[in-house]
Structure formats: C-alpha cells, structure tokens
Structure 1
Amino acid sequence: MLNISTNKVSNFLDLYSYKSGKATLHTNQHKLFRRLLIVSSILVLIILLLPWTQNITSKGYVTTLKPNQRPQTLQSPIPGRIDEWLVQEGDYVKKGDTIIKISEIKSDYFDEQLTDRTSDQIRAKSASVDSYNSKVGALRNQYSALKQEQKLKLEQAKNKLLQSKLKVTTDSMDLEAAKIKATIAQTQFERTINLQEEGLKAVKDVEEFRNKLQEANAKLNSQKNKWLASKNEVINAELSVSTIVTTYNDKLAKAQSDLYTAQSSALDTEAQVSKLENSLANYTKRNSLQYITAPQDGYINKAIKSGIGETFKEGEPLVGIMPANYDLAVEMYVKPMDLPLLHLGEHVQVQFDGWPAIVFSGWPNVSYGTYGAVIVAIENFANEQGLYRVLITRDPDYEPWPQALRVGSGAQTIALLEDVPIWYEIWRQINGFPPNFYTPFGHEASQNSDAKKSK
C-alpha cells in the first residue's frame, strides 16, 4: 500500500518480531555500506595505480623463418605428359629423389636418338671446319708464292728495262759517230770534186770518195734504225713491267678473295658447330627434365596433377612438397598507426590456436599458455587490406614453442610496449589515443650515430 500518512507502521507493530524484519532491519546498515564504499574506492584507486604494459594485439599465422623452408609446389619447365608416379601423398623424399616421370608432347623432340644425331652433325661440321682451315692455309701459301713470283718477275723486267735503256744510250753514241763520219765523208767528197775541177785530182779519186760517202750514209741510216729499235725495246720493257704488275695484282686479288671466302666459310661453319653444340646441350638438359625430382628433403603434401597420361603446360604446378627441416615463425599484421611503435628485436607474446591459454595482455608475467617471440622483419609496404606484415620468431630466452606446432595454424600475438599506470591506459582508450611512441635505446643510439656521420 502507499505510504500516504505520516504515521509510521513501526509505531503500531513490532517489526523485529517477524523473520523478515530480523533479516533486513539493522541498526548499523548505513555504517556497513560506508565501509564497503570506502574499501571499494581504495581498491579501485590501488588498481588504477597498478602498472599496465601497453600492447598491440593482432592475429597471425604460423610460417617458416626462411623462404626456402616454406611449402612449395613443383613445376615442370617443359610441357609434357605424366607417365609414372614414383611417390604417394605423405611420403618422405630426400633431395634428388624422383617424384614423377614425364614424356614429351612436342613433335620436335619425339626422336629418341636426337642427341646422337646432333652429335654426328657436330662431328661432320667440325671436320668441315678442319677442311676449310686447311684450304685457308693452302691459299695463304699460294698468296705468298704469288707475291714472291711477282717480286722476281718484276725485278727481271726492270733489269731488262735497264739493259734496254743502256743499249739506247750506246746506240745513240754510235749514231752520233756515224753522223760525224757521214759529215766528214761529205766534206771530203766536196773537196775532191773541187780539186778535180781544178785538175788536182783525178776522176778516180772523186769516185772513190763518192763511194765512201755512200757507205757513211748507209752506216748512218743503219745506226738510226738500230737506235730506233733500241728505243722500241725500252718501250717494250716498260710495257712488260706494267703488264707484270697488272697481271700479278689480278692473281693476288683472286687468291686473296679465295682466302677470304675460305675464312668466311670456316667461320660460318664454326658458328653452325657452336649452334649445334648449343642445341645438343639443350637437348641433353631437356632429357634430364623428364624427371621431376625433389629440390630438398621433405614430405609430399598433395598431387595436383594426379592422372597417368594427363598433359600439362610448362610452369603448371604438379605436386606440393613441405620441407622436412624448418624454423618456425609467425607473421602478424598490424595497422599503419601501430607500425612506428614496432622495432627489430622487440619482444612479443604469442598464443597459438589449439593450446589453452589464460592471457592478461597488460600483465604478461601472469599470463599462462603464451610463448615468447622476437621481431626479426618488418615489411615496408602494406597489403591489400592496408596492414603491414611483421615476422617474428622464437625468443631464445623463453621456453621452446610446442613440438606439435605446424605451419599454417593460427596465432594471436601481443606486442609489448611501455609500462604505464592503469588509469593512464583507461584514459588513453577512452580518448582513442595511440600507445606511447618511444624508441629503444640501441635504436636511438644507432640513429644518432648515423646522423653524426651524415653531418
């Protein structure tokens, strides 16, 4: 009922005589409430003053520390057809073990004796190279012989030319002597005629000197013919020298042309031999690619192309393999706002999926089921989701990670930052501020030293 009267019920009834009154009515109830409020306030104040480790939480996945230790797929660099599987899924293989045997599907490589036939072609072409080299040597000898013959012939012709010129000089001197004799004979003949007209000489003397004049003129004409013949021999000798030079130049040019042709053929054949050797090496390497082998020790995960006789293209994945020896790591993804707070070598706590854990992110010392890790790599470019990838591995100062942990399982990471009071952390979270930005001592020292060097 409503209490609309100023009269109290306790004035008419004894409430303590009832069980409910005894249970609820106390004289010190306000005192107990005040004590409870004071104790709660003190506890809240103490809690607010407790230290709290700022942290960055993110999800991640178990991976391997080195790229060559991660799961991989095996491809064939050539197209082919699967002929035989030598392993099955789950098998352990060592490096170099054959996994798949394949065969060719291109008609250019169907010949099983392709490498042998190519080797025969190389031997034949190599013999041709030797023949061309021998021909080059013979042509060089021929060229040298022609040069020597030209030199000798030219010297012979020049000597003959010199002889002809000397003979022209001799004949010219004889011609001058004949002219003098003819002049003397003419003078004597005229003097004799004059004396005969005066009666001092007989007609017989005149006839005698006439005969001598005729003989002198005849010798003069003969010497002129001889002198002209000598000059003609000089011209013939000069023409012979010119002919020898021209003829042997033609012969030397032809020999040199044949030499260059032989050298060109030899070089062309050597190029063909080199091309055939390259083809032979490619064929030999291609034959070795008909066996897909394990690149390292590991386990066969999955047969991607499983059928016998199934064809595939070059570069198409055929089988997946997981390396047997690997070092575990975790890749975590952080927001761009948190990236400047992370540095190489900083400590991180990790919780793995499948392992029970009780986590107090701000009090890592009282957490249970978490494992220590350290940052080893920070990516400098964000992925499609705008997150940065950070790689962490086991901290050697903490307990080992679980032996049954496998690559690909999930993980929850907690990157530990500065220690602050709880009240500060609550105030930061309410205002949406980022954690305190700080730089480790070693990192700051290295930055200072780099700045001094740059100055």
Structure 2
Amino acid sequence: MLNISNNNKTNPPSLEKFETIKNLYTNTNSRALNKIIVSVCILGVLILFLPWTQNISGSGSVTTLKPNQRPQSIQSVISGRIENWYVQEGDFVNKGDTILFISEIKEDYMDPNLVANTQKQVRAKKNALESYGSKVKTMSGQIQNIESEKNLKLKQAQNKIQQALLKIKSDSMDLVAVKTQFKIATTQLDRAVQLHKEGLKPLTDVEDKRLKLQEVDAKIITQENKYLSSQNEFINAKVETNRITAEYAEKVSKAQSEQFTALSNQFDTEAQVNKLENQYTNYSIRNGMYYIKAPQSGYVNRILQAGIGQTIKEGTAIVSIMPAAYDIAVETYVSPMDLPLINKGEKVRIWFDGWPTIVFSGWPDVSYGTFGGKIVAIENFISDNGKYRILIAPDPEEASWPKKISIGSGAETIALLDTVPIWFEAWRILNGFPPNYYKSDTKTTKEKK
C-alpha cells in the first residue's frame, strides 16, 4: 500500500480499554436471553407440527338463491308519456299495484274509441261473413234445383226419342204395307189387262185397277213422307237432348262460378275477421299496458325515470323493485386453479361485512363470527373478473344467518379442504403448489350409493 496518509496504523488499538466492553463480558443476563431464544425456537418447531386446515378463500357479495327473488327493474312494454306517479322510493307495493300511468304517443293508437271502433268493424265483417255463407248455401240449393230440372228435361227428351222411335217403326211398317199393296195392285192391273185382251174382262175393270194402282202409288209417296218426318222427329229429339244437356251445364257452371266467388269472398272475409280480431285483442291488451303494475310484492328502491310529461321508449327501465320475500345466498369467486377442488355440497365458512368477526383461516373451529354455508351451484364459464362464480346457500345444520343482512353487501368465504401440518402448508405456499384434493365423507357415501 502507498503510505500517503499519516493516520495509517498497522496495529489497531484494543477495545478492552473501553468500559462498555468490559461490562459486556461481565453481564449475567445473556444466559437468560439465550434460554428464551432456545425456548421460542422449540415452541416454533412444535407449532410447525400443529394441524392446519387447507382452504380456498374468496370474496363476493350477498345475493338471493332464486333469480326471481333478486332486485329487478320494471320496463315499459310500449312507448308513452308519463302522466302520473302512484308510488315513491321506499314504498311497499303488492303484486298488481299500479306504479304509474302513461299516455299514448303514437298516432296509430291515439283514437280514444279505438277498441270500440275495432269491435264494430269485427261485427260488421262477421255479418258479411255470415252473408257470404248464406249465399254459398243458396247457390248450393240453386245448383241442386238446376240439376233436378235438368234430369226432368232429359227424361222428357228421352221420352220424345222413344216416341219418335216407335213412330218410325210404325211408319216403316205402314210403308211396307203400302208397297205390298202397290205390288198387289200392279199384279191385279196386269191380270185385268190380260183378261181384257182375251175378252174376259171389260175395259171398266181395267180402268178401276189402274185407278187403284195410282191411289196406292200416291199412298207410297205419302207414307214415305211420314217415315222421313218420323226420322226427323227422332233426330230433333236427340238434338233437343244435347241442347238440354248443354243449356243446363252452362247454368250449373254459372251457378258454381257464383258459388266459388262467394266462397272466395267468404274466405277473404274470414281472414279479415281474424285480422281484425287480432287487432282488437292487441288494442285491448295495449290499453291495459298504460297502467304499469308491480309484477310481485316488494319495495321500491329507485325511480329511474322521473317527472311528468317525460317520454319513454319501449323497454326503458322505469323503476327498480326489491322483492319482499327472498332466500338469501352468497355469491363468491375463486381462481381457475382452485376450481377443480370445489364441489357441490361442500362446507364453506362465511363472514359478512358489518358483523364482528375473528377469523383463523387454518382453524375454523376457533373462528368467531363466521357462519356455515353449503355450495349449491358452480358456474361453468369464467366471469369478467377472470374467476369462477360459486353460489352458496345457508347450511341447515348450523346457525342461521343474520336476518339484517342486506342484499348486495360484501362477504368473504373460506372453503375448507384437507387438514395438514403447518410446516407442510408453509412449504406448499412457498413452492406455489395447489392445496390437496379433498373429498368429503358425505360425497364419498353418496357416490357409493
């Protein structure tokens, strides 16, 4: 070293020359202090072997067990203008009590006689529907009458056809008879002419036979005319039958067309009646929505839309109500690492904000002011705070929860797990290991069953 400073000394002075150092060597209290330190160390080692109950802590709030018992806001189903309030904050309302009255703001529903007018329209359309129904029945009767008249006309025409056939047969037979007479007359004339030539018959007989032949020839022409007339009558009778069929088919088609038109109008009117009845029902229900009523008995917490004449839209929250009767519960949140250790039915210790509590997390038996609970629901999807929600109900085997607990107040929870020595729990925490997986005896028994 460089000897730059004059204060450098290779041999420092002894401390024994000081009076304080001398007193330390002669102090007798150091032995007692050593005993105390050794005793504390032994006690600390013994404490490390004391039992410690592993637990999962969580924080949450007081809520209700059933969703219909939780605070709810009442919305307006329709838009309107606030006209009158019937409650104020803090009032108790029964189910069905009127909270406020709103008036209509849409021009389609402003008619004060809208429901009555719609009902009149429904009645008028129903009368029109009945009229169309009567017309359809009348047309059905008319079609039946036309069919009956058609059948009678066809029978009459068929009778004429039969008569024409019989007349044709008769005229044909008469024509054959006249032709036979013509042949006989011709034969007689030839015989008379031959006998006259032989001088056996006078000329007058020949002339008589010739006259008779001419008469028979004339009868043939007349009879052929009658036969042709009979055939014409037969043809006319058939034509008349076809005409009757076509005429009454046209009448039936016309009547059916009118009937189908009436049916179409009837169905259209029926659809209009259903539409008007739907409108009438909707208008009637809408009239009942002007008075907003309490869905269940409870207390009015907060008026969300204040004032008279304020316009609100449909779905707007108007007032908040807390149900009067509810089953209390606690919702708490645990980390994803602790979720596999939580099971329904497990015991939980709870302490509430505002209640005196002394908590020893590892010794639940010596904790003061905590209340017992039982897990009834575990949420399967993570919440917005990055934890899983657990719902806890009061444990019926332990003391009941305080009745003055308010919904929404804070609560702390401890889920009890396995019992281990304190040194093991300290070692687990220092290493960041999760608690031991624990199955309660009750759950094991249920699984065996």
| Same-fold call, TM cutoff 0.5 | yes
The Cα of 1:358 is off from its aligned counterpart by 1.6
Q: In 2, distance between residues paired with 1:5 and 1:312?
A: 94
Whole-angstrom CA distance in 2 between matches of 1:179 and 1:296: 115
The answer as to 2:20 corresponding to 1:56 is no
Q: Spell out the pairing of 1:46-445 with structure 2 (5 A cutoff).
A: 46-444=46-444
Whole-Å Cα distance in 1 between the matches of residues 198 and 427 of structure 2? 172
1:327 Cα deviation (Å)? 1.6
Q: Alpha carbons of 1:316 and 1:204: their partners in 2 closer, same or farther (altered >3 Å)?
A: same
Task: State the alpha-carbon separation in 1 of the partners of residues 87 and 33 from structure 2.
Answer: 77
**How far did 1:6 drift?**
8.4
- The amino acid across from 1:397 in the alignment is E
State which of 14, 24, 27 in structure 2 corresponds to 1:25. 27
- Give the match for residue 452 of structure 1: none
| Letter in structure 2 aligned against 1:73 | S
Question: Following the alignment from structure 2 to structure 1, what is the Cα–Cα distance between the partners of residues 11 and 392?
Answer: 70
AA partner of residue 250 (structure 1): E
Distance 2:245 2:112 in 1: 61
Q: 1:36 to 1:221 in 2, by over 3 A?
A: same
- Which deviates more from structure 2 when the two are superposed, residues 301-310 or residues 138-147? 138-147
- 1:359-418 per-residue CA deviation (whole Å, 9 max, x = no partner) reads 111111111221111111111111223311110121122222222211111111111111
Tell me the equivalent position of 2:6: none
* Offset, 1:445: 5.9
Deviations 1:6-63 (A, max 9, x none): 89669xx9999xxx569x622x845x56644553343233222211111111110111
Q: CA deviation at 1:432?
A: 1.0
Name the CA distance, whole Å, in 1 between partners of 2:24 and 2:340.
64
Letter in 1 for 2:104: E
CA-CA distance at 1:199 after TM superposition: 3.0
Which consecutive residues of structure 2, in runs of 5 or more, have no partner in the other structure?
1-9
Q: Which structure 1 residue ranges, 5 or more long, are not aligned?
A: 450-455
Work out the CA distance in 1 between the residues paired with 2:162 and 2:277: 62
Question: Does the CA-based 8 Å contact 2:332-2:413 persist in structure 1?
Answer: yes
- The 2-side partners of 1:60 and 1:6 are apart by 66
Alpha-carbon spacing, 1:446–1:365, altered in 2? closer, same or farther (3 Å)? closer
- The CA deviation string for residues 130-170 of structure 1, in whole angstroms up to 9 with x for no partner, is 22222222222111111111111111111111111111111
> Aligned letter for 2:356?
P
Residue 266 of structure 1 deviates from its aligned partner by 2.2
Contact 2:154–2:241 (CA<8 Å) still a contact in 1? yes
Instruction: Tell whether the 8 Å contact from 2:129 to 2:266 is kept in structure 1 after alignment.
Output: yes
Root-mean-square deviation (CA, aligned residues, Å) is 2.4
Amino acid at match of 2:304: I
What residue number does 2:3 align with? none
Query: What is the Cα deviation at residue 286 of structure 1?
Result: 0.6
TM-score relative to the length of structure 1: 0.91
Judging changes above 3 Å, is the alpha-carbon distance between structure 1 residues 111 and 5 closer, same or farther for their aligned structure 2 residues? closer
Name the CA distance, whole Å, in 1 between partners of 2:246 and 2:440: 92
Give the SS at the match of 1:186: helix
Give the counterpart letter for 1:348 in structure 2: V
Which whole-Å CA distance do the structure 2 matches of 1:248 and 1:373 have between them? 91
Contact residue 15 and residue 21 of structure 2 kept, 8 A: no
Query: What's the CA shift for 1:289?
Result: 0.4
Give the Cα separation in 2 of the matches to 1:375 and 1:21.
63
- Compute the displacement of 1:441 (Å): 4.5
Measured against aligned partners, the alpha-carbon deviations of 1:210-262 in whole angstroms (never above 9, x if no partner) come to 11111111111111111110000100110111111111111111112212222
Q: 1:295 and 1:156, CA in 2 relative to 1: closer, same or farther beyond 3 A?
A: same
Aligned counterparts of 1:42 and 1:209: Cα–Cα separation in 2: 179
Instruction: Output the CA distance in 2 between the equivalents of 1:422 and 1:180.
Output: 151
Distance across 2 between alignment mates of 1:403 and 1:269:
63
Could you tell me how far 1:4 is from its partner in structure 2? 5.5
Distance 2:246 2:52 in 1: 108
| SS of structure 1 residue aligned to 2:381 | coil
CA distance change for structure 1 residues 257 and 14 in 2, over 3 Å: closer, same or farther? closer
Q: 2:70 corresponds to which letter in structure 1? A: R
Q: Distance in 2 between matches of 1:41 and 1:75?
A: 67
> Match of 1:247, as an amino acid?
E
Question: How far apart, in 2, do the equivalents of 1:269 and 1:357 lie?
Answer: 76
Q: TM-score, normalised by structure 2?
A: 0.92
* CA distance, structure 2, for counterparts of residue 299 and residue 181 of structure 1: 127
Q: 1:15 to 1:112 in 2, by over 3 A?
A: closer
Query: Residue type of the partner of 1:366?
Result: V
- Residue 264 (structure 1) shift: 2.2
Number of residue pairs matched?
440
